[in-house]
Amino acid sequence: MIADIQEILVDEKALEKRVAELGEKITADYRGKYPILIGILKGSSVFMADLIRKIPIPLEIDFLKASSYGAEARSSGIVQLEADLSMDVKGRSILLIEDIVDTGNTLKYLLNRFESLGAADVKVCSLLDKPERREQRVISALKYPMNS
């Protein structure tokens, strides 16, 4: 996999700094709300672990696995939920942790799903954003994009 890397988009120091900034913003925004941070597997796991270390408030974590890619490198547009949450989200503040927001298909599906399940609010924290590939409007939910 390392042989496939052509260039480094974000160096380690910049990444650490931005994760710390995101942690501060999330802490300020969610203080007193006891949010659920939901990692979208598998890509978000390392980013989420780093981020949680920078959020010193009470919170819960959970994971789900959803994708619109299947075995292909291109989005099919059809989202499949492969592993669901283990907790109830009704009335709770949700922060979805994503590695890359690409087409927006998966996020749009999840935003609609959590709204229908009665979440108080749902926002997104993404490591990277590819707005040029967007097929769904999810920008209002991108509260904490990495490259802002």
Tens of pLDDT along the chain (148 residues) come to 566 777 877 788 988 988 899 999 999 999 999 999 999 988 889 999 999 999 999 999 999 988 765 555 555 567 777 667 778 999 999 999 988 777 778 888 898 899 999 999 999 888 876 666 555 565 555 465 555 4
**Start-end of H helices in the chain:** 12-30, 45-52, 105-116
Question: What positions carry a catalytic annotation?
Answer: 102
pTM of the entire predicted model: 0.80
Give the pairing type, strands 121-129 and 60-67: unpaired
* CATH architecture of the domain covering 8-83+93-145: 3-Layer(aba) Sandwich (3.40)
Beta strands 60-67 and 80-83: pairing type? antiparallel
Sequence letter at residue 57? I
CA–CA separation, 140 and 77 (whole Å): 20
